[in-house]
Structure 1
Amino acid sequence: MDTTRNLVLAAWMTEHGYSSNTLADAVNQAVGDLTGKPGGLDGSSVRDWKAGRVRWPKSATRAALENLTGLPATALGFVPRGRAASAPAPPQEDPVKRRSFLTATAATAALPLPATAPPHRVGATDIARLRGKFASVVAGDHQHGGIRGIEVRALELAAEAVDLQGRGSAGQRVRSQLYGVAAAFTSSAMWAAIDGRRFDAARRHHDRAASLAAMSGDQAIQFRIWSHAGTLYRHLGRPSDALAANDVARSLPISRRDPLFASLGHARHAAIYGMTGNRSAVVRALRDAQDAADRAAPDAHRPVWMTAVRDRAELAELALSAHLGLGDFERAEAHAHRSLALLRPHMQRDRILTTARLAQAQLGQGELEPAVATAMSVPPSAARHPRVADILAAFGSGLREHAPGSSHTRTWTQYRREALA
């Protein structure tokens, strides 16, 4: 057996902070999400992958690993069964066959050239195919959050959509849709970078996404891009810029046509006001968000990324952020429970983030035992997500500050030491 080491997988694990044991745990969980039954991998299984002893994992494991990383198995250094390691040497050429070939070539050269094939006509089928891939990117984001693999994949698909402009003919409507799809993919790359706290990359993606969206005329994707920009500036601690960016989204005509977009704009404003301590503005923005959501048609056609907004899970999550910012921990806890109840099962990234914030809300009320239990319910593999890691680090600091000698603090400290080992 060829046991060439899988250096690509090893490099990916190092970049994303996975040991053999934690990657095995994460893949087992992803297998469970796919099949309903957790996988049976352990650290030795992953070491076999890295050593090249297993070059092509079983199908369920492979699919789970691809969902976890956002990359195809071949991009992680795995080699499909039966693929040759190298191409065979070319056979020696027979001189007689060579003379026959040259004679035939000369005769063929005198024949008229065939007509050039007409260019590919880009149409609705191509748009539908790309939108299906966009739905997969959004699903991956809901499950895994801001891993670099999702960012890279989204940018690749954005380039594919733009390339179609030059490789085929299309009418103006289709060209606008291609720009819209490219903007959508780039906005997902932007969001993955924000979620992974790669803020310089997020700013670059925003510039490109905004340009593509402007050429498309698609107001829904323009709303998403500028709404994400507001979130980016909020994470950077720049509330004035965050409000200005979010106002660009809120001023688009789609916010007047569809109250659900208006509702999301108000809720994002509330989260920004929360970080400034403006309680009256938070209350007003959340009231406006609720009123707009109540007026929204429940069965209207909307982009796939609006699912959590339609379910009101994202509105509750933004209210949670706003009240945490205000230090209103009792209301924050109520919104956390509401968001967790409304989130769909596949939205694991939001569920984990909300759970970590719930622990903060409980700690803020002095409820040490439930707070520690909630924080410990976050799976160790998910706790490596950059935003989750920041929340849990702040949780630990708050716990040590308020109850340095508590048994709950000792329990949390020991748990974190073992989980990160």
Structure 2
Amino acid sequence: MDTARNVALEAWMAEHGHSSNSLAEAVNRAQERLTGRPGGHDGSSVRAWKSGRIRWPKSATRKALEDVTGLSATALGFVPRGRTPSTPASPQEDPDMKRRTLVGGIAAAAAAAAAPGTVAPRRIGMSDVDRLQHRFAEIIASDHRHGGQPGIEQRAAALADEALNLQNAGSATQRVRNSLYACAASFRSSAMWAAIDGRRYDDAKAHMREAQALAEMAGDQAIKFRIWSHAGAMYRHMGRPADALAANDVARGLHITRRDPMFASLGLARQAAIHGAAQDRTGTRRAFDQAQDAMDRADPEDYRPVWMLAFYDQAELHSLALSAHLSLGDYPAAEFHAHRCLSALRPHMVRSRAITTTRLAHAQLAQGEVEAATLTAMKVPADAATRHARVSRMLQEFGAALRATAPGSPPVETWTEHAAAWRTTA
């Protein structure tokens, strides 16, 4: 039987700037929100819909498409089984469409009567959510390049407000509203992390409180995990390991850690770093072993949010181990994990490379390797050395430790000149 192209779907995609691949990704995300499991669609799936080879997708796919587009499946040109494209369903044959048309007409009439001459409010849909999620990915990328900058914090906070403003900009389904709250919580959590990374802890706590409230309204387990896990990291950096463990335990208690071993691994790895700060050697070793085991069990094909995909991998596990062993004073182990981290870091992890290189220099210096430590510290890029609060402080501490270890030595002179050059080019 000949198939007729789905011109309605093609027209909607053209109007909203969707390629086959981008629509497939949006449908997969919507299906994840609906069912708890991501869809398995790709560009070829969408091309099959457009060509008419698939005239009536499965029910979960149809619902995901409706959430993404704000239109019914029949309005998108899909034809229920048993009907032919040449005899499309009339409004009387499609009760759902008839009900939506009637309700829409009543609502439009009521709006016109209440406010003559005004334009009906726009409909907020998943395309708006997708646009915000794209901006969120940009924030994540900027954080990994620069980290801790007030500008990143301010942009993330402004985007959180933009997501919230959309709640009042038009009509939307409850799923869209929940997704907007999740977007706002995601941006607030990025503002929180930028403030933590920049050692602006009062600002970080303010972002945390707002992010937690937004995540509750969204009911999004992944972003709840991110916020509480960040809270644990914040208290660890503030030297409050008891509070850090309590916050991290909230993250680890969420059911997403039982559903996805990768979330369990991150929670355990951060718990191990907290144990290191608390001088608990046994707890540190046990938690890292469990974190590695959970990571090994995780399915790399499972759907995960962009913030998780962007940073948590074997390199980050070694980075947290490096932090823990430095705190414990186990410098050979710290150096081992530093080298393993640096060898596995992905190119976009610019901020992480600067932090790891600085920590490696500390581990080498603590073992008496004065020249090697100095050369390592000099590899930190000038931008990170002068503009990233955590890196700057660690390098200042390195310089003080170097002068105390080898006063008046050639490495001290070399380091002093190099640090002065950094300040000149800042």
TM-score of the superposed pair, with normalisation by structure 2: 0.71
One-letter code aligned to 1:142: H
Aligned to 1:324: 326
What residue identity is the alignment partner of 2:217? M
Amino acid paired to 2:189:
S
Q: Hey, what does 2:422 align to over in structure 1?
A: 419
Instruction: Please state how far the C-alpha of 1:309 moved relative to its aligned partner.
Output: 4.9
Name the aligned partner's letter for residue 138 of structure 1.
I
Q: Does 1:398 align with 2:394?
A: no
Structure 1 runs of 4+ with >6 Å offset: none
Q: Does structure 1 residue 145 correspond to structure 2 residue 110?
A: no
Q: Does structure 1 retain, via aligned residues, the 8 Å contact 2:385–2:422?
A: no
Aligned positions, number: 309
- Deviations along 1:59-96, one digit per CA (max 9) or x if unpaired, are xxxxxxxxxxxxxxxxxxxxxxxxxxxxxxxxxxxxxx
The AA in structure 2 aligned to 1:413 is T
Report the Cα distance in structure 1 between the residues aligned to 2:297 and 2:238, rounded to whole angstroms.
33
Q: Who is 1:235 aligned against?
A: 237
Structure 1 residue 117: Cα displacement: 2.3
For 1:172, the aligned partner's letter is: Q
- What residue is the counterpart of 2:410 in the other structure? 407
Give the alignment partner of residue 168 of structure 2, picking from 166, 169, 178: 166
Task: Supply the AA of the counterpart residue of 1:257.
Answer: R
Q: Which moved more, 1:129-138 or 1:372-381?
A: 372-381
Code of the residue aligned with 1:398 in structure 2: it is A
Q: Do the aligned residues in 2 keep the contact of 1:309 with 1:315 (CA within 8 Å)?
A: no
Secondary structure (helix, strand or coil) at the match of 1:381 reads helix
Q: CA deviation at 1:335?
A: 1.1
1:370-401 CA-to-partner distances (Å, cap 9, x unmatched) read 11001011122220111001111111111112
Deviations along 1:221-269, one digit per CA (max 9) or x if unpaired, are: 0000000001111111110000000000000000110010010001101
1:252 alignment counterpart: 254
SS of the residue aligned with 2:119?
coil
- Partner residue of 1:202? 204
Q: Verify the 8 A CA contact 2:123 2:171 in the aligned structure 1.
A: yes
Q: How far apart in 2 are the matches of 1:334 and 1:317?
A: 10
Residue 355 of structure 2, aligned match among 333, 353, 356 = 353
Shift of 1:114: 6.7
| Alignment partner of 1:386 is 2:389 | yes
Where do residues 5-154 of structure 1 align in structure 2 (5 Å cutoff)? 115-154=117-156
CA distance in 2, matches of 1:293, 1:116: 56
Could you list the per-position Cα deviations for residues 197-220 of structure 1 after superposition, in whole angstroms to 9, with x for gaps in the alignment? 111100000000000000000000
Q: State whether residues 264 and 309 of structure 1, in contact with CA within 8 Å, keep that contact through their aligned partners in structure 2.
A: no
**Amino acid across the alignment from 1:330:** P
Partner residue of 2:215? 213
Give the equivalent residue in structure 1 for 2:269.
267
The separation in 2 between residues aligned to 1:159 and 1:308, in whole angstroms, is 24
Distance 1:361 1:272 in 2: 19
- Is the 8 Å Cα contact of residues 213 and 222 (structure 1) preserved in structure 2? yes
* SS across alignment from 1:297: coil
State the Cα deviation string for residues 337-395 of structure 1 (Å, max 9, x = none): 11112221111111111111111111111111111001011122220111001111111
Any conservation in 2 of the 1:313–1:340 contact (CA below 8 Å)?
A: yes
Q: What corresponds to 1:67 in structure 2? A: none
Change over 3 Å in CA distance of 1:249–1:152 after alignment to 2: same
Alpha-carbon distance in structure 2 between the residues aligned to 1:352 and 1:229:
23
Amino acid in structure 2 at the alignment position of 1:278: D
CA distance in 2 between counterparts of 1:293 and 1:345 reads 21
Distance 1:169 1:308, change over 3 A: closer
> 1: distance between equivalents of 2:308 and 2:216?
20
Letter in 1 for 2:166: L
> How far off is 1:116 after superposition?
3.3
Letter in 1 for 2:150: R
Please name the residue that 2:58 is paired with: none
**Aligned with 1:420: secondary structure?**
helix
Distance (whole Å) between structure 2 residues aligned to residue 156 and residue 345 of structure 1? 28
State the one-letter code of the partner of 1:219: Q
**In 1, are the aligned partners of 2:266 and 2:312 still within 8 Å (CA)?**
no
Q: Measure the CA separation in 2 of the matches of 1:255 and 1:125.
A: 29
Q: Partner of 2:45 in structure 1? A: none
Distance apart, 1:417 and its partner CA? 2.4
TM-score between both structures, scaled by the size of structure 1: 0.72
8 Å contact from structure 1 (residues 260, 309) kept in 2: no
Conserved 8 A contact 2:140-2:310: no
Shift of 1:179: 0.3
Unaligned runs of 5+ in 1: 1-112
Quote the Cα distance in structure 2 between the aligned partners of 1:420 and 1:352: 17
Query: Which letter maps to 1:122?
Result: I
SS in 1 for 2:141: helix
Residues 274 and 323 of structure 1 are in contact (CA less than 8 Å); yes or no, is this contact kept in structure 2?
Answer: yes
Further displaced range: 187-196 or 271-280: 271-280
Q: C-alpha separation between the residues in 2 aligned to 1:309 and 1:416?
A: 29
Contact 1:333 1:361 in 2 (8 A): yes
Provide the rounded CA distance (Å) in 1 between the counterparts of 2:234 and 2:240.
Answer: 9
Cα pair 1:298 1:310 within 8 Å, conserved: no
Shift of residue 310, structure 1, vs aligned partner? 4.5
Identity of aligned residues (%): 60
Q: d(CA) in 1 for partners of 2:279 and 2:208?
A: 28
**C-alpha distance in 1 between matches for 2:217 and 2:233:** 23
The reply on whether 1:303 has 2:322 as its aligned counterpart is: no
The residue aligned with 2:188 is 186
